[in-house]
Structure 1
Amino acid sequence: MAKANITVHGGTPQLPTLLGQGPARIPVGGKIRAGIKVLTNKAAEQPRVKALYDQGVAAGQSFDQIERAIRAAVPGLKTPLIPRNVPWFTVRAQDFSNPVLAQQIMEAYGEDRGEGRHLYRFPVVFPADQWQAVMPHELAAWSTHEKQFWSEYSADGRTRYCMRHAPVPVDATGRRTIRIFGGRKIVARDVNGGICEPEACREYQAGQCNLTGRFVFFIPGIRSVSAFELNTNSFYAMNAAIQKFETVGFLRGGRISGFLDRQNTTFFLSKKLMDVPHIDDGGRAVRVSQWIIDLEAPVDVTALLRDSEEDVHTTLVEAEFANRVLEATPTPLVDEEKVVAEVMVQEAEPLQGQPSLEQLLALARSYEIDEARYQSYADARWGRGWRLNPHGRRRAWDELERYRNDPEGYRDKVEHELGAAS
C-alpha cells in the first residue's frame, strides 16, 4: 500500500522551501474499510473466480487486489465484486504499509459475535483539533485510473470550486511535453465558471461524482508514527460526526485531539443500523436500513466541564506567578516557593471543596513529616505543577487522607520514595 498524506488545514504554516510552503501533513500508513465486497451472482457461478476470491480473502489481500486478479484471469468479467453493507469493519494486511499492524489491531480489538472474528468497535484518538483535518471530505469524480474532478473551497470558505489537473504543456513544436517541476498543476474547471454546483453538474447527475470522506486517527496501543484512515461515503455518518466533534470541542475549549479527559477516555468508531432516507428514480422518498459508521464519545460531560474550569483556574495562577517573577526586583535568586504560596493564598482562592496548599502542608505536618521533605516527595510523585493545579492538590489530599489512621506508615512511604529517588 502506498502511503498517503492528510493536510492539516489551519495548522502551523511551514517555512518556505524549494518544495513549497504549506500546512503540516499527517502521514497515513493504513486503511480500515467500512464494509466488504462479495462476488456478483454471475461471478459466483464460475468455480475459478470463486477460488480466486476465497484465496485472496484467506491471504488478507485487499478487495482491489482480489478484483484485479479476477479480471486478469477472466477478462470478460468486468464487475466481479459488489459492496455489501455489514455490521463490522474490514482489516486487511495488504491495506497497511506494515501488514503486522492489521494483525495487532485485530488481536487487540477484534471480537467474535457469532460470525467469526471481526472488528466491530475500536478506540481512536484524533491528531488535530480541526474536524476538517481529521475528517477531510469532498465531492469527487473518478476516471478509470485517477481522480478527474473534485471540489475545493476558496481560502475564505465561501465558494466551492470544481478543480481538475491542468493539461500537460508541450514545447513550441507541439510534439514534446515539457517537464513539470512539483507535479501536475491544479486549475479550476472551465464548466460553470469553475463553480462546484451539483444540481447543474452532469457528472453528479449521472452518479459519477459523489461525496467521499475519511476519518484520520491513531489507535491506542497500536504503535505507529503514521495514522490510520477509514473511508466513508455516508452523508449521515459525516454529518453526525461533525455534531459530536463540535460538541466535544465546545466542552474542551476547542480541543478534540488526544484523550478526552484525565481517565484517558477516547472516541470510539462503531456501526449503527439506521433507516436512511433517499430519493428513488421516481422522485419518491424511501427508507433503506443500512449499517452507518457511528462516532461515539463515551465521556462524562460533567467531568469535561469540571476539568475545563480547573484548567482556567490553573492558567490564571500560573500566569500570575510568571508575572510576579518577571516583575520582581532583580535579586540573586527569586524565592519561588514564597511566590507560589503568596499567589495561592492571597490571590487565587481555591475552588469550592478543593484543599489549599496550606491545608495540605498542615496535614502533612500533623503526620510529623517535615514540610520541605513532603514537598520534595510530592514534586517527585506528581510533578511541580501539583501545588498549582486544584486537581493535583486534590490527589495529594486524598493520599494523605488514606493514611489518617497510619501516619507512621505514611512517613515510611515518604522516606522510602525519597531514598529511592536519591
Structure 2
Amino acid sequence: MTLDAALTHPDPRKTAIAAAFAARREDVLTVARAIHADPETAFTEQRAHDRCADLLEGAGFAVERGIAELPTAFRATLGTGSLVAALCVEYDALPEIGHGCGHNLIAGASLGAALALADVVDQLDVTLLVIGTPAEEHGGGKQLLIDRGVFDGVHLALMSHPTPHTDTYDVLGSTSQAVGRWRATFTGRGAHAAANPTDGINANDAAVVAQVAAGLLRQRVKDGQRLALVPQQGGVTNIVPETAVVDFECRALTMPEFEQLRTQLIACFEAGAVATGCTLEIEASEPTYEPLQQDEVLGISWNEAMAALGRPLAGSLGVMAASTDMGNVSQRVPGLHPFVGITGAGGALHTREFAAHAASEEGYLLLDDCAVAMAWVIQDVATSHTRRPLVLERAAQLAEEHRGRGAASA
C-alpha cells in the first residue's frame, strides 16, 4: 500500500490529515529505523524514549520525561479539548532477538498519528496525549502507568500491532489472552550428597514434583489456555540442593478462567513442597496482563479506514494467542489494538525472521497506513455526533466499573 489512497480520500479533512503525516514521514521513519537498529529491553529503553520525546517536543508537544517513577516512560500533550485521546507508544525489544514483535513500527505508527493530528487538535476539541509505555514484553509497563494515574481522565486509547499474517483483520471480535507470571522458590536443607544425603531436604526434588504435576494438569486444561514452567536453578552433583527456583506462567481468555488455572497451577507447586518437606514462596514477577477488549465504536472507524486505504478485511482474527498489557488499558478505557499483517511477511512473532520484516519496506508501508488510520479514527470520533457521545459514555462506564472493583478489593 502507499499513501496515495489516503491523499485522495473524498473527505478533505482526512486528506489534510494524511498530507500532514506525509510531510513528517521521513522524520517518523528515522526514529522507527533507529529504534529497530538499536534494540533496548524492558525498562532500559532510554535511547528510544529520548528519540520519541525529542520528535514530539520538536513538533510542539509539551513533553514530560521519565514519568510515574519510570525513567523510560513519557507523556506528550497537545491541545486542551474536552475529548482526551491517547496514542500508546511501545519500544522495548526482546532479549537476543531484537524487535521480533515490531515495536519500532508500533512506536512509529503512534508518533505518525500524533504528528498527523497536531495541526487540527483545536478544531477537533481534542486533548491529544502520546504516552510512552515501556516494558510491554515483560514487566507490564502500562499497568504500572495505570496504577500511577497516567491514564486517568483518558477517553480513548489507541495503538496498532504488526503481525506476520499478510491479511488485515476485522478488529471487532479480536482479543488476546490474560497472562500472569510468577517465581516459585523452594527451600530445603543442604547436605553432602555422598557423606550425609539423608540429612538433606532436596529442593530440586520439589521442583521436579511440581513440573510433573503441572505436566499431568495439561490434560485438564481447556483449549486455548496455556501454562509454562522454566527451572532456573543450577548446582553441583555433590551437594543436595538447598534452594530451587522455577519461573512459571499461565494464560486464559477470560479472567475467571485465568484465576482458576492459576489456582490449579499453584497447587502443583504446593504438592512439590508437601511431598519433599520444603517450604515454598511464590511471588509475582510482573503485573497480570488482562484480556484485550476492542471498543466497538473505535473498531468500526478503524475498519472503515483500513478499507479506504485499500487493505480489505479478512474476517476477525479471533483470539490472538499472545498477551499484551494494552489489555489492561482496554479494560479501563475504550481502547483499540488492531492486528495488521505486513504484506509478504512469514514466520511468527518473537523470531529473528519477523524482526527482519519489521525493518522491511513493506513494514514501513504498514506503518504509514496504521498512522493515518489511527489519526482518522480520532478525527471520526471527535467530529461525529453519534460516535463521540458513545465513546464518552463508555469511558465513564469503564471508569465507574474500575472504581467499583477498586472499592471491592479495598
TM-score with structure 1 length normalisation? 0.25
More helix by share: 2
TM-score with structure 2 length normalisation? 0.26
